[in-house]
Structure 1
Amino acid sequence: MSPSDRRTDRSTLLRLGFQDVDAALAGLTTLGPYADGLREALGRSADPDAALAALVALASGPDGAALLPALAEDPPTAARLLAVLGASTALADHVVRVPGAWRELADPLLESTRPPAFALRADLLRAVGASPAEESPVATLADAEAVDALRLGYRRLVLRLAARDLAHGLAVEDVAAELSDLAAATLEAALAVARTRVGEAAGDVRLAVVAMGKCGGRELNYVSDVDVVFVHEPADGVDDAAAARTAALLAGHLIRICSEHTAAGTIWPVDANLRPEGSQGPLSRTLASHRAYYERWAKTWEFQALLKARPVAGDGALGAAYVEMAEPFVWGAVTRDGFVADVQAMRRRVVAHIPAQEAERQLKLGSGGLRDVEFAVQLLQLVHGRADEAIRDRGTLPALEHLTQRGYVGREDGGALQESWRFLRRLEHRIQLQQMRRTHVVPDDPDALRRLGRSMELGRDAAAELEKQWRAHRREVRRLHEKLFYRPLLSAASRLPGEGAVLSAEAARARLAALGYADPAAALRHLEALTSGVSRAAAIQRTLLPVMLEWFADAPDPDAGLLGFRRISEALGTTTWYLRLLRDEGEVAERMARLLATSRYATDLLQREPQGVRVLAEPLRPLPGEALLAEMRSIAGRQPDAVSGVRAIRAVRRRELLRIAAGSLVAGTDVAEVGAGLSALTDATVEAALEVVMAHVARQRGFTEPPTRMAIVALGRYGGAELSFGSDADVMFVHEPVPGPDASRATAYAQGVALELRRLLALPGSDPALDLDADLRPEGRQGPLVRTLESYAAYYASWSRTWEAQALLRADAVVGDPELRERFTALIDPLRFPPGGIDDDAVLEVRRLKARVDAERLPRGADPHTHLKLGRGGLADIEWTVQLLQMRHAGRHPSLRTPRTLAALQAAADLELLSADDAQDLVLAWRLVSRVRDAVTLVRGRPGDAVPSDARERAAVAAVLGYAPGESTAMLNDYLRATRRARAVVDRVFWD
């Protein structure tokens, strides 16, 4: 060969798709005079290099002398063989390993004829020596020979199908249907072998094999588990127990025959776990036993699985009777209690089964994958099939076609979804063909992508085109998955023609009920109000609502979410930014939907001031106190009077309460950060309001400057920077007259400031009230509201009791004159942190007081196990234990001198006053109880001190805490476990 010819050959091979040109030249040389005739056919295969290597191996085998001339004389056979060799290393190995296997592809009928199901059945029954004409065929070959013959027969028929699929462009639904028929034939042949193993006893029972899943729907993959259910009836004169034993033997042998590896390879696993009670239940049941289970115990997902049930092997009449028995359960599932929860649980199981490393390339389970199509179609069938028998199909494509014809899916959408399903299934088939392995992950290796793209005839840049088309179909499936359920609802509600299917009001209500809306009629009214008309707002709402309705449905209270959305949309209907923000910022719309359908507290904040929706576009972490105080001072300074100034400050507070609530609900803000954020917000609010009120009262009373310096001391959870959403702010007021003015006038001024501050912060209005509770001051409600620093010093020196010293453990002078705050702290430190610690009498007094609180303060009828504050292992238990440790040891250990519970626990553990395990138990319980307390307020919209007993509220609280729907019992169990462990620590540390 001249250099010019060699260069031409190399460029031709590169054009044809060969990657290793030197190896290709060497391989073609071994083909001799047949190389030129086969080169172009090799170039049409998915992987020309692999196809050529397999062809050379085949040509050097025992049948090689006949192979190459036969391929040269029969181009269709060559095209089929080379297509298989280039697309499937597993089938190529089979062809090379099994003498004469390639001759199967020389059958001229392959190009034009699809084998009917009965022919496949007959073929495999004859392969094991059984007669297809017998009612209960029995294999006559020796057991090992029959099992190997079944494997080889199955692989031979798969080879024929793959060749037609790859070379002649079969429709993907035809490939799936033939694979399903082949699976049914395999099960029948395996049952024939099983009968031989069982012997004469096999006649004691009628056994039917019912296919489920993809096999039942006639949409099986090249490699997949085959889901089945076994049903049996005793033969005449045979008792039930003997029949059950025989049926179990037959079923067990059938499973092993198909699933086990032998020298001839394997077929696929048979999975019987969709049977009643799953893997814990008997392998086969009678028809009556199946019916009894479905009547009493079955869950919705089991009826969804039955939607695809199809008799495929064994006693056909019994299999048909089973399917007839199951149909009423399938089509009545939508009316069952818990239907929505079960459906949501099914969706969660799908997502949960995706390994994290595969999520982005999962073809089946990932977002926009095959399961999205199948789940959407099946749910539409379950919702509407009860009243409309025309949509009761087992297969995805036939069902989707009928759903489209009947108006449940728009024609354009139905066509697009069918196209995407076909593409995804075809890609799945090509991926599995390569090594005949059960996989649904799109590879990211460029060579593998190139091979897949070429097998799907996607052009020269096959890898890039495959990625492009796959991602486009994923986006389309996800969009249509959302649209299928929700956009037709808008058409039904607004009576407007549009892209979506036109549903009757009754069908729309059924769909809404199935999606979890407790009042579908009201939901339809809300949708009508939001989407009717031709205004720009209505048009945007029709774009937004399909996905928002799904977010509402995924949250604890869809009805509240939709109602809240309607109210806020109506309040902001004339603004230009609101709908544009939701339309253009998807995260904002999702956050808003989840807040409205989860939290009455957040919904109330939004409804008080709908402009707060803007906050959802911002970071949801609490803002620093310094920034808040600067903003509050600035906005208050522009107001004409104290009332307006404090109102403006409270408006900023309302906005920040929404930010912190939203962060807790949708951004997972830590409970300690929430408490610190709420406390810092309270600091800034009180500081800014105090400045406004001091100036206002000074003007009222004729002072040019305030006659006294003032400070506010935070107590309790506020002092510990551990406020919850439902907490009041416990405070004490302290003042110190400046030199000059009359002391009595200064005191009267301070009293007026405290009263006016409390009044303005608690005034009814559009912003939540902030109650400053001063009942923990010396002498309680009977004592003066405001005292001078000297008065506090005199009181604590003469009258202070142990419980007041304990209360001061959480005192933090946070607001007002900095010097006065420092002096107050210096005043109380020796009282709350005595140098030698409290004596035994004081310890006894603390314990007596705690016992009295436990006996008297728990509300009548409250469950001590689930009361968040006063229950066993609750907040009071933990905090009193920490405070007793501080009173006994903080005088000697400065690290214990903190008003914060978690910091004190860490210090106690570091000082070995608590064991690490005990400290950890108290920390975990404190954090969980605090989270539950916050969640109760967020869900109810008002404070609550007990784990809700109402099932719906408890489920919502569990959702706020991050538990999946249906896991409220798990949440309660976790709570009881944590508080029980905390109580054990309290018993050892506080009471001993």
Structure 2
Amino acid sequence: MSLPSLAPIPGLLLPLANRAEQSWRTAVAGLEGGHGLDDWSAERWSAFHRVSAASDFFIEQSLRDPLMLLELVRAGELDRSFAPGELCRQVADVVQAAATDDELGRALRRQRTRQQIRIIWRDLNRQADLIETCRDLSDMADASIDQAYRWLYQRHCQQFGTPTGHRSGEPQQMVILGMGKLGAVELNLSSDIDLIFAYPEGGETVGAKRALDNQEFFIRLGQRLIKALDPMTVDGFVFRVDMRLRPYGSSGALVLSFNALEQYYQDQGRDWERYAMIKARVVAGDQVMGAQLLSLLRPFVYRRYLDFSAIEALRTMKQLIQQEVRRKGMADNIKLGAGGIREVEFIAQAFQLIHGGRDLSLQQRPLLKVLTILEGQGYLPGEVVSELREGYEFLRYTEHAIQSIADRQTQMLPDTPQDQARIAFMMGFDNWTAFHEQLMAWRGRIDWHFRQVIADPDEEEVIDEGELIVGGEWLPLWEEVQDDAAACAQLEEAGFVDAPKALKQLAALRSSPQLRSMQRLGRERLDAFIPRLLAQAVEHANPDLVLERVLPLVEAVARRSAYLVLLTENPDALRRLLTLCAASPWIAEQITRFPLLLDELLNERRLFKPPLAPELAAELRERLTRIPEDDLEQQMEALRNFKLAHRLRVAASEIAGSLPLMKVSDYLTWLAEAILEQVLALAWRQTVAKYGTPQRANGSLCDPGFIIVGYGKVGGIELGHGSDLDLVFIHDGDPNAETDGAKPIDGAQFFTRLGQRIIHLLTAQTNSGQLYDVDMRLRPSGASGLLVSSLGAFERYQESEAWTWEHQALVRARVLVGCKQVGAAFENVRASILSRARDLPTLRQEVSEMRAKMRGNLGTRITAAGTAENAYEATVPFDLKQDAGGIVDIEFMVQYAALAWSREHPALLRYTDNIRILEGLEQAGLMPVTDASLLREAYKAFRAVAHRQALQKEAGVVTGDQFVVERQHVRRIWSELGLS
């Protein structure tokens, strides 16, 4: 395309040009008595009017410093092209005169403004073509970066010493790579600059009092360099610096060694980083070492084989961009929209990535050169290349026109009549309509050619149907393609309350050690997953909470990326994961600790419908039969995995509302019993294999002659999500008779070791955690007693030595697993002990004293365990379990009633759970129907809240103004039973 023609200034813009002339004459008059413009020709004034009518930036800067434009005119720099190196020498002169960092920044900014005025003047007056304009802008960037770097490097070495390589012993310089348009010498009028900082090798500084690691030296230097170029000051800015193309993006180290860069791109480099690296060029620092670095990285960019996978990758990237364009309403973006600048770049890059490894001529940076090679080498027909070239140049001239108005980095077509008139005028058209028709014609041709090269022939118009990459609108945010402000705006628009926090959490994930050590395949899987995660998270009422709870899981499974694939390819499983994590931090923590639980999310029917007790036991038996008997490690893992999976299913069902409280406890208790059955079988088999089988007093072999008795919650069929197991071990073997094995021991030792083995199997920590915490303190004589008691010893202890509170505990005791004969005998002993005749005043006193002791030690102090006048206020806590009127009060009343009346009403001993004992008291007429019902409902209500609190990882405490009526009734019934 030839240069856009010069059009007359339209009437809408003439007032701008006239006001600019008036202001300019006034400003110069203040400087030189009005004589500075005496030698301005009509042609000069015409050129001034053109630029003033088009560019607010030009006139603002010229008025701010009138001498700058006058000097450019007198030096003749507005009327000629610069010779090679001339612009760099000008920058070097002003940099060398600087004495401080502040003076350096000021000098660079003034020089940038000077060159912008010159470049805009020449561009809008058609004195420079597109290539010259881009070259001057790129040269200005190169010179600013390099001269600032050299100035800072010298002073940095004076302060910290000279960085020196460990291996070479040579002084080290930084290598600064320019990426994107800077790397291709295609910078636009208001472009930012994408940079990557590197240094050749590790080592430390020499010549200073304290040596500094080379990386730390260059990080500090890089920070000073960015500060010299990037911030907006009263003098403007030099170039906006974007460092997000470096390895790991914003979360990565600012500067990396050559080895670290090579390793990163070899192991983790992604497709979009290949595209970026096509245009990488050494713009500052050590040019010789920079050439070596680019040589090291070339195999990452250009494959030796024909790489047709690049087409699919480019297609995916384009689809993502188009989703973003639609989401942000950017159809008028001449860079990213359909038929825009990016599509021409993609066409060229497709051929470069596919063929560049073999055809070295394609290893070029400037796009126009690549197009020429594509035509010359026969990759594309000449007429196609001609259209692409002309369309691209038209778009780039338009881009410069847009940016020259206010020196803003934008590619959006303006929507105001004045700025539309400016664009049409700068592009040589009489009006906006004529310009826009030509623009859309070029965009249509570019888009057509793009589709021939890039678009998927099997997907007709998929792009227009919105059936694109799931969550693709979030990929730019995840890959840091957009700045933080835009990312936060997108998060807020999607429903995040604290967008900066969410963005910080994503950045922390990106910088985590797990992600840094990921291989390329894993990173690609993560890049596919995160946008889907965000897309589903924003469907929840509280996406902030979802993200906070799920990101630790993502970090935990990052290096086992098959889990990411599972969630990516199963959106329903991902949806269930987010729902469960949003509902319960406990579930989120469990899945994070044990990612194998993600498999449970695949089957919705199984997840929300846990099996009944017989099915549970059968499933576990079947799992263990597949494992060799001597593989203890695998057996222990299988037990733990089984427990984790079914506990998750119960919690999920409770959250979904498909399991009421009582059923939740039933299932958790059945799960414990199924596990205990297999643990006992394993422990028995291992102990017998080592010592032989123990004997009973009559000489028969035990088979196993052993039971596990459950107390507390497991005995009362009231297990919660994090409950431990209160257990007692009992046997009916002969303590003195030896086992019949090769290494015989007496029965007492055998059963002790069997009990120890059981506890080990239950409590040992493996990769999947432990099965249960076990509490054995309810055995005869507590912690000082034998680990395992014979049935006879247990009976004698209960008859003559046990305290009343131990008999209370026995009310909730039942056989969980083991020998049926011993179990039946235990039940007889239990019934005999509990149904003894008791002195009721003494019983009431002992139960009351024990309860008072517990309240004193465990209740809420500021309310005297719920008994003080302030106990029902909203400002104080109520402990659901320990405070007066709570769970333990109800349990103590039930236990008191069983001990007091089971002699006359043995049916009270049939069950061990509080609900059914209360029903028994009601049926026997020992408690009014209303009172029994009140206690049952209060007990269930308290426990339901405690369950919910556990799933929220919160203590079983609520505010004092809750359950006031229930607590008052419980305390009333407590008093009516004569308890104090």
Structure having the higher helix fraction is 1
Q: TM-score if structure 1 supplies the norm length?
A: 0.45
Specify the structure having the higher radius of gyration (Cα). Answer: 2
